[in-house]
């Protein structure tokens, strides 16, 4: 494990080196963009302020030192805000879309994949395969546009675009981000309750009772969340945000569940012929138990690794979708940064994506150690 | 007995060729039985025909001034965008250009960027992963360190941000996409496959028979990696085409016209008239992207299932 961490760290340093080299191999430097209209003296002043007049080696060490402290300097577009603050301020908004989309699409894909593989052949399989391939290969902005057109314009079910409806917020004494943060926390709590319920009911033998216990735990957590929101008095604001969240979230889920479904289906089919499944069937175990406990649990391992590896792509999808729906978050920051050539911000976003990928890889190794007994005892 | 005699009397090279042809035929038979894979293959064939038909149509039936995908304009129709008609089967866009002509032209760009990226990624991942797994030691460490770094740079993000620094033509985009995906995750997968291959008894047999390292790699390891290479190729095409369309949609490329640009233009007609838009201008490129990517995805998946014996059994 320690070796894995060291390797990750080395990769991170190399990654930053490449970024540094890239930025410095560009024609001009930070100052030539920032001081384009200020003449030579202004340019020299900016160069001095950004430390660009120092030798390259010194600059490189400075760069690494600052990155290690999560300091990417001052954003050009959002000046005088620091890049880290700009990104942090918008993190809850993106996290709400990105994390819930990831969880929802994985849950949907795993469950559907399981069902489809179990009933192999026939129309159901063909229909789900076609649907998931079509969703997976759809062009993200187009799918967002279609969702807007159908559900917001023609059917009028959801408000279109933007984060909130300002009319509801005129008298609010709380910021959007504070509400969003609370929503992230409560969604996380409900998710944790669902996960822990699955773990706790393992000891319960009877199937009917198991389901009842699970339903009770999830219901209790939902109830607790609802009462908390109702008592806080911000429920209507949260509802407003949720209504605006529905379409972008749905689109990202639609874009990313297909891959999970297809992978899950393939690994399920692979596992279904294994000897231990035949043995379990010969013992007379019910089909649902065979499916869930003997096939799905084994089949899930390789799918899990694919999932974590596809996490950055879900992030990209949600950033683009944020842009399409004018969900003012990190996607907007990224596109603004590109539009206005905000180099420090771009470096910040790239570093963030890199760190996320590294984190998911390390998480994957840890998860494998926990979930696959062969690695622990082998 | 006589048959065996006659086979044995043939030279070894022709025997090998015969065997190889037999293998290819078997794989093809298996692939033909794969329903969705065949659908994908048919779609790829159709798109190839479409892409090839554009230059032919331009030089024969279509008048260059009216049907050019980039600078064409039809004065007989007003206003633009005009709905589908006999002369413009899919109508025209806001600039008075024929949508069908644009669609066919876009197919060429998609094929170009997709196949470039796919080939680069497949060759690179096979070479890097194969070398790392087969040679091992310091080379392995070095190449896997490289892969670790490449993995940290997801190609769509890097390309999107690179669009700011340099607006790229499609070949550059395809090569960059291929390099980033091929050196990263795919190389790691190929390496683990190589390790599995190296443990096979026939490799040991080849070593015992005195085969050199290069010979063993070329004749015994590489053929085992080819299925994975093919799968990588097809799956990379999907990502590359989607990324190119995304970049073109946001106007971050130097590609004159691709399906992504067409979707953006089609969407513009909607913004102007709010509710009512020109579906004939936006639906064809959107469906084309979906079908094109689905085709390559389906063939990649089918190859994975056909060439992977563990999945094939059922």
Residues B154, A357: C-beta atoms closer than 8 Å: yes
Chain B residues touching A273 at Cβ < 8 A: 313-314
Asked if A335 reaches chain B (Cβ–Cβ under 8 Å), the answer is: yes
Nearest CA in chain A to B154: A312
Q: Chain A: residue nearest B145 by CA?
A: A11
Which residues in chain A (255-294) have CB-CB distances under 8 A to chain B?
A: 262, 266, 269-270, 272-273
Q: Does residue B20 have a pLDDT over 90?
A: no
Residue where the block lists tokens 């494998």: A368
How far are the Cα atoms of A131, A189, A234, A363 from residue A185, in angstroms, in the given order?
Answer: 33, 6, 15, 21
B42 pLDDT above the threshold of 90: yes
- A132 contacts on B by Cβ (under 8 Å): none
Q: What integer pLDDT is reported at residue B3 of this predicted model? A: 63
Q: What is the CATH number of domain A84-95+104-161+244-377?
A: 1.10.3720.10
Distance (Å, whole) CA A207 – CA A213: 10
Q: How far is B54 from chain A (nearest CA, A)?
A: 24
Distance between CA atoms of residues B44 and B295, nearest Å? 6
The 10s digit of each residue's pLDDT in A80-137 is: 888 888 888 888 788 888 888 888 888 888 888 888 888 877 788 888 888 889 988 8
DSSP string covering A302-319: HHHHHHHHHHHHHHHHHH
Q: In which residue are the tokens 């639906």 written?
A: B283
A181-222 pLDDT, tens digit each: 888 888 888 888 877 777 777 666 676 777 788 888 888 888
Q: A102 phi and psi, to 5 degrees?
A: -60, -50
Q: Which of B229, B52, B278 is nearest to B128 (CA)?
A: B229
- B266: nearest CA in chain A? A142
- Alpha helix positions (H), B199-273: 201-208, 213-216, 222-249, 259-273
Interface check A11 vs B, CB under 8 A: yes
Q: Which of residues 122-161 of B touch A (CB under 8 A)?
A: 145, 148-149, 151-154, 156-158, 160-161
What gap in Å lies between CA A117 and CA A268, rounded to an integer? 6
Mean pLDDT of chain B: 84
Nearest-5° angle of CA A31, CA A37, CA A38? 70
Query: Which of A12, A126, A270 is facing B311, going by the closest CB pair?
Result: A270
Question: From CA A296, how far away is CA A202, in angstroms rounded?
Answer: 15
- The tens-digit pLDDT sequence of chain A (378 residues) is 677 788 888 888 888 888 888 777 766 666 666 556 667 777 777 777 777 777 888 888 888 888 888 888 878 788 788 888 888 888 878 888 888 888 888 888 888 888 888 887 778 888 888 888 998 888 888 998 888 888 887 787 887 777 677 777 777 777 777 788 888 888 888 888 877 777 777 666 676 777 788 888 888 888 888 888 888 777 777 778 788 888 888 898 998 888 888 888 888 887 887 888 888 888 888 887 788 778 887 888 778 777 777 777 788 888 888 888 888 888 888 888 887 778 888 888 888 888 888 888 888 878 777 777 666 654
Q: What is the structure's pLDDT at B175?
A: 93
Helix (H) or strand (E) holding B312: helix B309-312
* pLDDT at position B1: 56
Per-residue CA distances from A181 to A90, A93, A175 (Å): 10, 8, 10
- Using CB atoms, which residue from B152, B263, B290 is nearest to A357? B152
Interface of A with B in 161-220 (CB under 8 A): none
For A226, how many CA atoms within 13 A lie in the half-sphere containing its CB? Answer: 6
Phi and psi at residue B98, to the nearest 5°: -70, 125
pLDDT at B311 over 70: no
**How many inter-chain contacts (A to B, CB under 8 Å) are there?**
117
Q: CB contact, 8 Å: A140 with chain B?
A: yes
Amino acid A376: pLDDT: 61
Rounded alpha-carbon distances, angstroms, from residue A97 to A244, A250, B277: 11, 9, 29
CA neighbor of B107 nearest in space, from B236, B258, B220: B258
Kindly state whether A353 is in contact with chain B, defined as any CB-CB distance less than 8 angstroms: yes
| Contact call for B161 and A138, based on CB within 8 A | no
Q: Cβ separation of B290 and A11 shorter than 8 Å?
A: no
Q: Does A149 touch chain B (CB under 8 A)?
A: yes
pLDDT (0 to 100) of residue A117: 84
- pLDDT tier at B251 (50, 70, 90 boundaries)? confident
Question: Of A133, A266, A354, which is closest to B152 when you measure between CB atoms?
Answer: A354
Task: Name the residue among A300, A378, A375, A281 with its Cα closest to residue A1.
Answer: A375
ipTM at complex level: 0.81
Nearest to A137 among B151, B250, B290 (CB): B290
The DSSP-derived string for A321-378 is: HHHHTT--SHHHHHHHHHHTT-HHHHHHHHHHHHHHHHHHHHHHHHHHHHH-HHHHH-
Test A316 with B156 for CB contact under 8 angstroms: yes
Contact predicate A330/A289, CB 8 Å: no
The residues in B 266-285 lying below 8 A from A, measured between CB atoms, are 267, 270, 275, 277, 282
Among the partner-chain residues A10, A139, A313, the one whose CB lies closest to the CB of B286 is A139
Mutation target to probe the A interface, by most A beta carbons within 10 A, among B157, B168, B311 is: B157
List, in sequence order, the alpha helices (H) in A38-82: 39-49, 56-68
Non-local CB neighbours of A303 within 8 Å, separated by 6+ positions: A110, A113, A260, A263, A264, A267
* Spatial separation of the C-alpha atoms in residues A4 and B71, rounded to whole Å: 55
Sign of the dihedral defined by the CA atoms of residues B70, B74, B80, B84, in that order: negative
Interface touch B154/A12, C-beta < 8 Å: no
Per-residue tokens: A349:
């976003």
B300 reaches A (C-beta below 8 A): no
What length is written for chain A?
378
pLDDT for B201-237, tens place per residue?
888 888 888 888 888 888 888 888 888 888 889 989 9
Residues of B in contact with A320 (CB under 8 A): 246
User: Residue B314: is its pLDDT beyond 50?
Assistant: no
Classified as helix, coil or strand, A82 is strand
């Amino acid at each position: 494990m320690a070796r894995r961490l060291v390797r990750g760290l080395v990769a991170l340093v190399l990654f930053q080196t490449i970024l540094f080299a890239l930025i410095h191999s560009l024609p001009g430097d930070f100052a030539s963009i920032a001081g384009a209209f200020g003449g030579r003296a202004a340019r020299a002043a900016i160069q001095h302020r950004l430390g660009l007049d120092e030798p390259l080696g010194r600059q490189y060490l400075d760069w690494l030192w600052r990155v290690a402290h999560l300091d990417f300097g001052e954003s050009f577009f959002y000046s005088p805000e620091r890049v880290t603050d700009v990104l942090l301020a918008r993190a809850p908004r993106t996290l709400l879309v990105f994390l819930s989309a990831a969880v929802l699409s994985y849950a949907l894909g795993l469950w559907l994949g399981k069902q489809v593989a179990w009933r192999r052949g026939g129309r159901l399989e063909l229909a789900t395969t076609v649907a998931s391939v079509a969703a997976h290969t759809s062009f993200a902005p187009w799918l967002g546009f279609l969702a807007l057109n159908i559900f917001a314009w023609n059917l009028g079910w959801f408000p279109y675009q933007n984060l909130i409806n300002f009319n509801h917020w005129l008298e609010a004494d709380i910021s959007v981000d504070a509400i969003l943060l609370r929503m992230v926390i409560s969604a996380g709590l409900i998710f944790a309750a669902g996960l822990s319920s699955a773990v706790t009911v393992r000891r319960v033998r009877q199937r009917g009772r198991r389901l009842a216990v699970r339903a009770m735990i999830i219901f209790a957590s939902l109830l607790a969340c609802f009462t908390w929101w109702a008592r806080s008095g911000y429920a209507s604001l949260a509802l407003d945000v949720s209504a605006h969240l529905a379409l972008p979230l749905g689109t990202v889920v639609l874009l990313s569940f297909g891959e999970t479904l297809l992978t899950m289906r393939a690994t399920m089919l692979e596992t279904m012929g294994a000897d231990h499944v035949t043995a379990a069937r010969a013992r007379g175990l019910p089909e649902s138990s065979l499916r869930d406990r003997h096939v799905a649990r084994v089949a899930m391992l390789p799918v899990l690794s694919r999932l974590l590896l596809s996490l950055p792509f879900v992030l990209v999808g949600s950033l683009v979708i944020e842009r399409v729906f004018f969900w003012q978050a990190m996607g907007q920051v990224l596109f603004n940064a590109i539009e206005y050539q905000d180099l420090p911000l771009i470096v910040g976003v790239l570093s963030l994506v890199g760190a996320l990928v590294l984190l998911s890889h390390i998480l994957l190794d840890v998860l494998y150690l926990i979930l696959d007994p062969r690695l622990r005892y082998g | 007995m006589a048959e065996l005699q006659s086979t044995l009397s043939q030279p070894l090279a022709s025997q090998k060729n015969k065997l190889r042809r037999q293998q290819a035929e078997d794989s093809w038979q298996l692939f033909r039985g794969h329903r969705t894979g065949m659908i994908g293959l048919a779609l790829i064939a159709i798109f190839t025909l479409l892409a090839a038909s554009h230059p032919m149509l331009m030089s024969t039936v279509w008048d260059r001034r009216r049907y050019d995908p980039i600078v064409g304009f039809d004065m007989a129709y007003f206003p633009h965008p005009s709905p589908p008609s006999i002369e413009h089967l899919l109508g025209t866009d806001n600039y008075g250009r024929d949508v069908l002509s644009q669609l066919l032209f876009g197919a060429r760009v998609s094929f170009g960027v997709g196949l470039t990226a796919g080939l680069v990624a497949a060759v690179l991942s096979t070479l890097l992963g194969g070398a790392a797994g087969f040679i091992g030691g310091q080379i392995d460490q070095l190449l896997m360190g490289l892969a670790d770094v490449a993995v940290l740079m997801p190609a769509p993000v890097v390309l999107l941000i690179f669009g700011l620094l340099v607006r790229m033509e499609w070949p550059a985009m395809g090569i960059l996409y291929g390099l980033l995906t091929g050196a990263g995750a795919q190389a790691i997968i190929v390496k683990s496959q190589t390790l599995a291959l190296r443990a096979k008894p026939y490799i040991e047999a080849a070593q015992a028979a005195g085969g050199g390292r290069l010979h063993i790699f070329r004749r015994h390891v590489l053929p085992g990696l080819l299925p994975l290479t093919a799968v990588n190729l097809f799956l990379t095409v999907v990502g590359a085409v989607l990324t190119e369309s995304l970049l073109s949609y946001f106007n971050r490329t130097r590609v004159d016209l691709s399906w992504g640009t067409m979707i953006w233009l089609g969407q513009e007609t909607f913004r102007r008239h709010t509710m009512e838009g020109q579906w004939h201008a936006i639906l064809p490129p959107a469906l084309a992207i979906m079908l094109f990517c689905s085709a390559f995805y389906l063939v990649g998946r089918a190859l994975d299932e056909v060439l992977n014996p563990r999945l094939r059994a059922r």
